[in-house]
Amino acid sequence: MDDLTLKLIQLDHCRGLGRKTISAFLKADPKLNRLADYTIKELKEIYQMPSARAELFLRDFHSIDPERTVQQYERRGISSVPFHSPDYPIYLKKIFDPPHLLYTTGKKERLKDLKMLSVIGTRYPSIEANRVMDYLLAPLIESGWTIVSGLALGIDGLAHKLALKGRTIAVLGSGLYFPYPMQNRALFSELAKTQLVISEYPPPARPERWRFPERNRVISGMSLGTLVIEAKERSGSLITADQALEQGREVFAVPGSILNENCKGTHRLIQQGAKLVTQCSDILEELLV
Q: What is the pLDDT of residue 20?
A: 92
* 26 & 166 share domain: no
The tally of domains found in the chain comes to: 2
* 52 & 189 share domain: no
* 55 & 161 share domain: no
* 111 & 67 share domain: no
Check whether the bond before 86 is cis (ω within 30° of 0): no
User: Does the residue 200 lie in any domain?
Assistant: yes
- pLDDT tens-digit profile of 84-95? 999 999 999 999
Q: What is the pLDDT of residue 236?
A: 86
Q: Which alpha helices (DSSP H) does the chain contain, by range?
A: 3-12, 19-28, 40-47, 51-61, 66-75, 127-142, 155-162, 185-194, 211-221, 236-246, 264-271, 280-284
- pLDDT tens-digit profile of 129-155? 999 999 999 999 999 999 999 999 999
Q: What is the pLDDT of residue 277?
A: 97
- pLDDT tens-digit profile of 240-281? 999 999 999 999 999 999 989 999 999 999 999 999 999 999
For every residue of 258-276, DSSP letters joined together read TT-GGGHHHHHHHHTTPEE
* 236 & 139 share domain: yes
CA pair distance 183, 169, nearest whole angstrom:
18
* 59 & 121 share domain: no
Contact 219, 148 (CB under 8 A): yes
- pLDDT tens-digit profile of 153-180? 999 999 999 999 999 999 999 999 999 9
User: Does the residue 251 lie in any domain?
Assistant: yes
Contact 168, 190 (CB under 8 A): no
Structure confidence at residue 235 as a pLDDT band (50, 70, 90): confident
Q: What is the pLDDT of residue 234?
A: 84
Mean pLDDT (the chain) is 95
User: Does the residue 174 lie in any domain?
Assistant: yes
- pLDDT tens-digit profile of 276-286? 999 999 999 99
User: Does the residue 28 lie in any domain?
Assistant: yes
- pLDDT tens-digit profile of 36-50? 999 999 999 999 999
Rounded average pLDDT over 205-220: 95
| Domain containing residue 143 | 105-284
* 122 & 70 share domain: no
Given 26, 58, 75, which residue is the final one in a domain? 75
Q: What is the pLDDT of residue 288?
A: 73
* 144 & 223 share domain: yes
* 42 & 160 share domain: no
Nearest to 117 by CA among 278, 227, 238, 241: 227
* 12 & 147 share domain: no
User: Does the residue 242 lie in any domain?
Assistant: yes
CA pair distance 191, 171, nearest whole angstrom:
11
Structure confidence at residue 215 as a pLDDT band (50, 70, 90): very high
Rounded average pLDDT over 223-238: 93
* 176 & 35 share domain: no
Q: Decide if pLDDT at 289 tops 60.
A: no
User: Does the residue 88 lie in any domain?
Assistant: no
Q: Decide if pLDDT at 82 tops 90.
A: yes
